[in-house]
Structure 1
Amino acid sequence: MNLQELLTSVPFYQTYGEIDKDITGITMDSRQIKPGDLFICIKGFETDGHQYITSAIHAGAAAIVAMHHVEMDIPLIVVSDTKRVMAQLASSFYGNPTREVGLIGVTGTNGKTTITYLLDEIFTENKMSTGVIGTIQTKINGKSYGVSNTTPDSVSLNEFFFEMRKEEVQTAMMEVSSHALDQGRVYGLDFDVAVFTNLSQDHLDYHKDMDDYLRAKSLLFAQLGNHYEQGREKYAVVNIDDPASHILIKSTAQPVLTYGVEQGDVHTRNIHMDETGVSFTMITPVGNIQVDSGLMGHFSIYNMLAAAGAAIVRGVQLEVIVAAFSKTKGVPGRLEPVFAGQSFGIVVDYAHTPDSLENVLKTLKDVCEGYVRVIVGCGGDRDAGKRPKMADVAMKFADDVFFTSDNPRSENPENILDDMTGHLKGEFHRITDRKEAIESGIASCRNKDILLIAGKGHETYQEVDGMKLEFDDRKVATQAVKQGRHNK
C-alpha cells in the first residue's frame, strides 16, 4: 500500500523525506521487521520503541512513525500519539475488516474466556462461521493460533480480523482486557455487542484504584458509538447483579440488555445444581426455555446468561442456544478435571482473583462428599493487595490449604508467600515449590476428597526471572498420581 495514501487516515502529522512509496506491512516490534515494513515507535512500560529505530532501519524498514524528530535516511512521520496513529494506520492498511465481521467484545474480571467459548459454540451450532480472540488462543473457523496477550496490539488485531474476513467469518468473539482498553489496543475496532461480566479486585498493580479499573472497562461500552444504524444495530449486555452495572449502562448510548440470576431482561427460575452440572429455566424477552448443562457452579449460570444475552441480540434462536449449552464440554483450565485412576477428584482452574477463587471453592464444596483441598499462590509483579485476600478466601472455603508459588516473575516467591500468609491464623501448608506442593496436596487426599489446583489453569509454563519454564498443573498432577503419590 502506498504510504502517502495510507496517511490519509491520519489527520495531523509532520513528514521528513519522500512518502510517495509502498509499504508492505506494519509493525511495532523491531525484531519482526521485514524489508518494506512501516515501523511504529511505541513507548511501553518496559521499553521505548524509539530506541530501536536504528535496528529497524538496518532490518529494512521503509519508513518510521515516531513522536519526535530523529535524523535518518528513510521517511519519518512525526505524530503526537503513536498508539492512536498505529490503530488508525492498521485499520486502514487492512481495509477496516471489523466493518464486515460481526464483533462481540467481552470484558470484566472473570468469565471472559468461558463466555467467548460458549458464544463460539452457540454460533457454530447456528451454522455460522466464527472467530475467537482470547486468553487461550485465537481461532479462525476452528484453526488455532497462539497469543501473547489477552488482547493483542492493534496491528495484530486488524491482521487477525483481515484473515477472518478472508475466511468469511460471520461472527467473532473477543476478550477485551482493561489493559487493552486503557492502552488503546482496540481503537478503531467496530464492535457490535459489548458484554460486561463482573468487577472484582484485580490488576491494581496497573490501575490506581477500582474506580480507574472500572473506567477502563467502561471504554468498551462508550466505543459502541452514538449512532443508530438499521441493519448494523449495536447492543450492550450487562450483568445487572453486579454493583458496577449502572456505570456501564450509563457509558453507552446503545440499547442495553441486562441479565442476572433473579432480575434482568434475561434471568432464571428453578435452579438446580449438583456434581453433574446445572439446570434452570431461562426467562428472556423472546421466550422462556429449559437449560441443562454439564457446566458446574453458580458462576457458570452467569456465564451462560451472558452468552445467551449476546446471542439473543444477534438474532440466534433460543433452541440453538440451549442446544449449545447442553453439548459444551467447558474450557481448558476452567474447572478442568484430571483423572489418572485416583479415587478422589482433582480439578485445575484458572481462578486467580479472590472472587473467582471463592466461586470455584463454593462450587466444589456443594458437590464434594469429603474434604475440599486447595493449592493456590499469587503471581509476582502484579497487584500485591489481593494476596492476603486470596489467602483469606482459601482459608475460609477450603478444608485444607497449600500455599505455593504461581508465576513469581521477577519477585522472590518467599516474599509473595509472606504477603499471602503473614496475617493468617490457623493451620495451613506453605510449600514454595509448586511441583512439590501439588505432590503433597495429592498425597493428602482421601477417597471422595476434591483437590483444586488454582491460579494457572490452561497455562503450560511458569514465569520465573524472565524465563518461561515448562510447567503444566494437569501434567504434574497426572504424573504424581501415576507415581503413586496418593492414598489408594
Structure 2
Amino acid sequence: MDLKELLKGVHVLHIDGRQELEIKGIAYDSRQAGEGFVFVCISGSKTDGHLFIEDVIAKGIKAIVVEKEVKDQEGITFIRVEDSRKALSAIAANFYGHPSKYMNVIGVTGTNGKTTTTHLIKHILEVNGVQSGLIGTISYKILDQEYKANNTTPESLELQRLFQEMLDREVNTCVMEVSSHSLDLHRVEDIQYRIGVFTNITQDHLDFHGTMENYKNAKRKLFYKTTQANIINVDDEFGLELSRQLSKLDAKCITYGIKGPAEIYGKDIEITAKGTRFQLVTPKFSGVINIGTPGMFSVYNALAAAAVGYVTGYGYLEIKKGLEETRVVPGRFELVPNDKDLTVIVDYSHTPDSIENAIKTIREFAKGRIITVFGCGGDRDKTKRPIMGEIAGRLSDYCIITSDNPRTEKPEDIIKDAEVGIKRTSCKYKMIVDRKEGIREAIRQSGPKDVILIAGKGHETYQIIGNRVIDFDDRKIAQELIREDLQDEVDN
C-alpha cells in the first residue's frame, strides 16, 4: 500500500522525507519489523519505541511514525503525529481495509462478566447457524483456529488483522471483550461496533485509571461508537446513568436487570448447587431458562446475552437453546472434578465485587463451611486489597490468603495488605505465600459438606513471580493435591 493511502485519517503534524513509498507491513514491536514496513514508535509504560529507531532502520525500514522530536536521517521518512497509538489504529485499519465495516461486531465491556457473556452470546449465534469469531481474556478464536490471548483486547494492529482473517474465512460476526485499557489506549478507535453491552462497574484498574470517574469515562466510550443498539445493565448505578445519557442522544438502548424496571428482565429465580432457573421476560416473549452455573451473576450474564439475541431477532426457543447448551466457561465458577467428592470451585474473581458474588452464590447452597483461598495481583491497584480481604473474611468461614500473580512486588507485602481487611472481621485465617501450599491447606481443612473456593486466577495456567512465568493451573493443582490426600488416607 502507498504511504499516502496508509496515512488517511491520521492526524499528521509534519512529514520529513519521501512520501512515495510502498508499504508492505506495519510493526510497533522492533522484533516484528521487516524491510518495507512502517514502524510506529509507541511510548509505553515499560519501554519506548523511539529507543529502537536505529534497530529498525538496520532492518530496512524506511518510514517511521514518531510522536517525539528525532534527528533527520537520509533516506528515512519520519511522520510526526500527536498520538502514535491513535495513528497506529488508523494505519492498521487502512492497511487491512477497515474490515469491521463489513462485519457485525458485538463489544462487551464491564468490570465483571465479560468473558462469560461473550461466550454465551457466541453460543446463541452459533446454535442459530451464525459462525462467529471470539476475542477475549481466555483466547482469540476463528472457527477451528485458536490464538493465545496476551491481552483481553489486543493492540489495534492485531485486532484489524484478526478481523481481516475472519472475513477471509467467511466469518462476518465477532463477539469481543472490550477492556477499559483498550478504550483509553485507542486500540479500538477504528472499529465499527453494531452492538455494545455493558455488564457492570466496580473498583478495578485504579493503578491505571487513577480514579473511578476516569474508569467510568473509559467504559463510556464504547457506547458512542455503536450503530445498532446498546444493551445496558440498569441494576448497576452507572449503567442506569449511562442508559439515561444515551437516551437523551437518541441512541437505541435495551435495558436489562432483575431489581428494577427493565425491558428484559429475570424473575422467579431459583439457585441450587447444580445451576440456576429463572423466567426470562422480554417485550415480545417470556419463558423459563435453566443454566448450569449457580448464582445471581449467572442470571445477569444470561440476560445480557439474551438481550443480544433479542436485538438480533431471535425468539425464546432460539435464545433458550443457546443459553442452556453453553458449556462451562473455563475458570468461571468451574467445579473441579475429583474422586474424594469434595466441592472445589475455581473462579476468576479478582475484584471486590466478583469475590463477593462468588462467595454469596456458594452460601446459597453450601451445607457446611466456606473455605476461601485468595490473593491479590502485584503491580496492580493496591487499594482493593484490604477491601477484598474484608469481603472474604466477612462472608467465609475460613480463609487462606496466598499469592496470586505477585509480579515484581514482594508476595508477603501483598498478603499483608489483604490481611488489613480480614482483621476487621471475625474470620479465622492463615497466610501462606506459596499458592500450592495454600490450596493444600484448604483441602486439609475441608470436610464432606464444606465448599472450597479458589479465587483470583480462574482459567490462567501460569503464575507470574518476579519476571518469571511458571506453570500453574488452580484446577490441576487442586486435583493433584486431592489425589495425594486420598493416597495418604490409603497409606495410613
Structure 1 residue identity aligned to 2:115: T
Residue number among 244, 257, 261 corresponding to 1:260 in the alignment = 257
The residue that corresponds to 2:35 in the other structure is: 35
C-alpha contact (below 8 Å) 1:218/1:247 kept by paired residues:
no
Structure 1 residue identity aligned to 2:3: L
Cα distance in 1 for partners of 2:115, 2:25 equals 30
SS at match of 2:373: strand
Structure 2 residue identity aligned to 1:258: T
The residue that corresponds to 1:167 in the other structure is: 169
Asked whether 1:234 is paired with 2:228, we answer yes
Cα distance in 2 for partners of 1:127, 1:415 equals 51
Per-residue deviation, 1:70: 2.8
SS at match of 2:141: strand
Query: Aligned in 2, Cα 1:279/1:217: closer, same or farther, shift over 3 Å?
Result: same
C-alpha contact (below 8 Å) 2:234/2:243 kept by paired residues:
no
C-alpha contact (below 8 Å) 1:101/1:164 kept by paired residues:
no
Consecutive unaligned residues in structure 1, runs of 5 or more:
225-232
SS at match of 1:483: helix
Per-residue deviation, 1:487: 7.0
Cα distance in 2 for partners of 1:309, 1:484 equals 45
SS at match of 1:468: strand
Cα distance in 2 for partners of 1:80, 1:324 equals 45
SS at match of 1:195: strand
Structure 1 residue identity aligned to 2:26: I
The residue that corresponds to 2:472 in the other structure is: 471
Consecutive unaligned residues in structure 2, runs of 5 or more:
none
SS at match of 1:236: strand
What does the per-residue CA deviation read over 1:69-100, in whole Å, with 9 as the maximum and x for residues that have no partner? 43223222111111111111111100000011
Cα distance in 2 for partners of 1:259, 1:303 equals 10
Give matches, 1:47-446, under 5 Å.
47-67=47-67, 68-72=69-73, 73-224=75-226, 233-252=227-246, 253=249, 254-262=251-259, 263-423=261-421, 424-425=423-424, 426=426, 427-446=428-447
SS at match of 1:422: helix
Larger mean Cα displacement after TM superposition, 125-134 or 59-68: 59-68
Structure 1 residue identity aligned to 2:470: L
SS at match of 2:478: helix
Cα distance in 1 for partners of 2:40, 2:290 equals 50
C-alpha contact (below 8 Å) 1:444/1:487 kept by paired residues:
no
Cα distance in 2 for partners of 1:435, 1:295 equals 26
Per-residue deviation, 1:466: 1.6
SS at match of 1:205: helix
C-alpha contact (below 8 Å) 1:137/1:145 kept by paired residues:
yes
Cα distance in 2 for partners of 1:325, 1:310 equals 12
C-alpha contact (below 8 Å) 1:291/1:322 kept by paired residues:
yes
Query: Aligned in 2, Cα 1:318/1:60: closer, same or farther, shift over 3 Å?
Result: farther
CA RMSD of aligned residues (A): 1.5
Larger mean Cα displacement after TM superposition, 154-163 or 74-83: 74-83
Cα distance in 2 for partners of 1:430, 1:15 equals 58
C-alpha contact (below 8 Å) 2:389/2:420 kept by paired residues:
no
Larger mean Cα displacement after TM superposition, 422-431 or 360-369: 422-431
Per-residue deviation, 1:247: 3.2
SS at match of 1:313: helix
Identity of aligned residues (%): 40
What does the per-residue CA deviation read over 1:176-216, in whole Å, with 9 as the maximum and x for residues that have no partner? 11111111111010011111001111111111211111111
Per-residue deviation, 1:249: 2.0
TM-score computed with the length of structure 2 as normaliser = 0.95
C-alpha contact (below 8 Å) 2:204/2:384 kept by paired residues:
yes
Per-residue deviation, 1:59: 2.4
C-alpha contact (below 8 Å) 2:7/2:90 kept by paired residues:
no
C-alpha contact (below 8 Å) 1:372/1:399 kept by paired residues:
yes
Cα distance in 2 for partners of 1:193, 1:115 equals 13
What does the per-residue CA deviation read over 1:259-308, in whole Å, with 9 as the maximum and x for residues that have no partner? 00143000122211111211111110221122111121110000000111
C-alpha contact (below 8 Å) 2:3/2:23 kept by paired residues:
yes
Larger mean Cα displacement after TM superposition, 321-330 or 93-102: 321-330
Larger mean Cα displacement after TM superposition, 103-112 or 273-282: 273-282
Cα distance in 2 for partners of 1:418, 1:487 equals 34
SS at match of 2:485: coil
Cα distance in 2 for partners of 1:347, 1:291 equals 23
What does the per-residue CA deviation read over 1:221-263, in whole Å, with 9 as the maximum and x for residues that have no partner? 1223xxxxxxxx5111000100101332245442000000143
Per-residue deviation, 1:11: 4.8
What does the per-residue CA deviation read over 1:131-166, in whole Å, with 9 as the maximum and x for residues that have no partner? 110000001124211111111111111011111111
C-alpha contact (below 8 Å) 2:132/2:172 kept by paired residues:
yes
What does the per-residue CA deviation read over 1:3-33, in whole Å, with 9 as the maximum and x for residues that have no partner? 1222233353422222212111112111111
What does the per-residue CA deviation read over 1:421-443, in whole Å, with 9 as the maximum and x for residues that have no partner? 13505421111110110111111
Matched positions, count: 480
Cα distance in 1 for partners of 2:469, 2:324 equals 37
What does the per-residue CA deviation read over 1:444-477, in whole Å, with 9 as the maximum and x for residues that have no partner? 1111211111000000111111221111111111
Cα distance in 1 for partners of 2:277, 2:298 equals 11
C-alpha contact (below 8 Å) 2:11/2:82 kept by paired residues:
no
Structure 2 residue identity aligned to 1:248: L
The residue that corresponds to 1:228 in the other structure is: none
The residue that corresponds to 2:484 in the other structure is: 483
Query: Aligned in 2, Cα 1:280/1:422: closer, same or farther, shift over 3 Å?
Result: closer
Cα distance in 1 for partners of 2:70, 2:5 equals 22
C-alpha contact (below 8 Å) 1:295/1:329 kept by paired residues:
no
Structure 1 residue identity aligned to 2:475: R
Query: Aligned in 2, Cα 1:45/1:323: closer, same or farther, shift over 3 Å?
Result: same
Larger mean Cα displacement after TM superposition, 185-194 or 259-268: 259-268
Cα distance in 1 for partners of 2:388, 2:5 equals 52
Cα distance in 1 for partners of 2:299, 2:489 equals 34
Query: Aligned in 2, Cα 1:191/1:251: closer, same or farther, shift over 3 Å?
Result: farther
Query: Aligned in 2, Cα 1:487/1:118: closer, same or farther, shift over 3 Å?
Result: farther
